[in-house]
Structure 1
Amino acid sequence: MISWDRVNELKEEIGEEDFAEVAEMFLEEVDEVIERLRATPEPDQYEQDLHFLKSSSLNLGFQALSKLCGEGERLAAEGKADAVQLGPVFETYSASKEAFTAR
């Protein structure tokens, strides 16, 4: 679910204090997009939203979430936004966030 190797690599690259700030900013920004997708999903924005979530997640080691978002982004880019399933994205983010913050 989470690449702890990536998390540790990022900590080494930017330092422990800056990592905490980056992680907090990541969680806030992703929370905003997730909440918007839950409250007012706009299929014409799925490609952009899922690209943002994919990239952000990959940077912080949320591998499972990044993969799901990449699949959704691809579908949306192919004009198949109606086939994008957001439920698994929400569930995976929640589980990943919980695992990440617990550690």
Structure 2
Amino acid sequence: MAKAKTEWIAAIRKGINPRDMVNAAQAYAREVSGKDPQYTSYPANWLANERYHDEYPEPDMRPALRAVPAAAPNQASARRNASRNVLDRLTDELRAAAGGDQ
């Protein structure tokens, strides 16, 4: 880590904004995440090679979507649905009776 600290200080002395280096390091970490670690640059080498100037893709800020299973109906909603079914049948019967009288 001493070499990385030395490279960090050298970059700041060159006029590189520390916030820019941190942002670039975070972008690099996102880019190599999940890839074979043997191809990931060591911090000291990343700084020495001025990789903070590299272009990294913008992070995808869209949330990951997933299917959510429907909640099991509780007793109150089951009673409401049963009441609606009864009312619908009654309405249908009344309409049929009214139509038959005409």
Shorter-chain TM-score tier: 0.3 to 0.5
Give the TM-score of the pair, scaled to structure 1: 0.33
More helix by share: 1
In terms of Rg, which structure is larger? Answer: 2
